[in-house]
Amino acid sequence: MTRRFSVAALLLLVGLCRAQDLATRLDRQVRVYVDQQRFNGSVLVARDGKVLFSKGYGMANAEWDVPNTPRTKFRLGSITKQFTATVVLMLERQGKLKVEDPVSKYVPGAPAAWKKVTIHHLLTHTSGIPSFTSFPDYIKTMTLPSPAAETVKRFRDKPLEFEPGSQFRYSNSGYVLLGYLIEKITGQSYEELVGKWIFGPLGMKDTGYDHPERILKNRASGYSNAGKTLANARYLDMTIPHAAGSLYSTVEDLLIWDQALYTEKLLPAKVLERMFTPFKDNYAYGWMVRTENNRQVIGHGGGINGFSTMIVRIPQERLFTAALSNLETRDAGRIANELARLALGEKVDLPAR
């Protein structure tokens, strides 16, 4: 006696097989990086808001053998900048600032060199203000508390590196200054505002400002490679990165964030379009935006003591990938982009062993 399968059942079976094949291929791609000690963290791939693949690799805490999972919390580093840009645009919507405003409007006694520097320049890394994280004494001072107002003092009297608006040069100073402006204008802390205006409304319960002294469930410890072994990452006082890199999150919460950007829950569509419009060198407001194979690819990476991160969005395909690592390498960005290409059905070579 033969069994007859309905067309719907056959299509479902084919779909399940394809999904399983894709998951196997995605896992194999990441696994090579893990085996080479180039990645240790969590990844997620989703389409139309539905998770296609999500997995943790290696240890969230190597000393206690606590494994990474999709709910492990990682420091985001510069992925923080897109949340800062969103708050700035929300303030503009409220009439409390304009991105064309000169920074000096909100900074008492601003140096004369900042006269032409606007909020737009800070958002797009075109201000010419040098990045304090490249200063010779940064490594020596990164263990000392430095709230935004104090950090601003470190670079406010430095000469500009170029005429505002004429060039792109990545500057953590610019985003710390944005955080300082946010706090000056609102009278509230940056931490309070991103929680109240973004994380709370979106239900991002596993995202926030990282305070090492607080007990935080499922927080990953940060590591660096020391030859063939792991070493604890160098300490960084988390008052320093502020609006440039202070947040933590999970791959699952970042998917919530991705999905919200297809709606008007936070900002109207026209404002979101501005946020994703590049100014110079493919940089928009807290996002890198490029065109690849006739598709817009939106993303941003982060690197901070003990962590490397990347998220990629391809709106045309409603595709999202995230790679969050508690290991100081630059491979999270490569992984997130390779996973996106694999999910699109493209051929991607395995990394050389």
What count of other Cβ atoms lies within 10 Å of the Cβ of residue 288? 15
Give the residue among 296, 202, 302, 211 at the shortest CA–CA distance from 252: 202
194: tokens are 């991103």
**8 A C-beta contact, residue 321 and residue 340:** yes
Q: What does the alpha-carbon distance between residue 198 and residue 345 come to, in Å, rounded to a whole number?
A: 33
**Alpha helices (H) along the chain:** 7-35, 80-93, 119-123, 138-141, 148-155, 172-186, 190-194, 200-202, 242-245, 251-260, 269-275, 331-343
**SS3 for 57?**
coil
**Active site (annotated) includes residue 189:** no
Token readout for 317 is 């395909």
DSSP letter at 301 equals E
Active-site position among 42, 54, 78, 127: 78
Give the number of other Cβ atoms within 10 Å of residue 67's Cβ. 12
Looking up tokens 């290696």 gives 58
Residue 270: how many CB atoms within 10 A of its CB?
8
CB 44 within 8 A of CB 254: yes
Q: What amino acid positions are annotated as catalytic residues?
A: 78
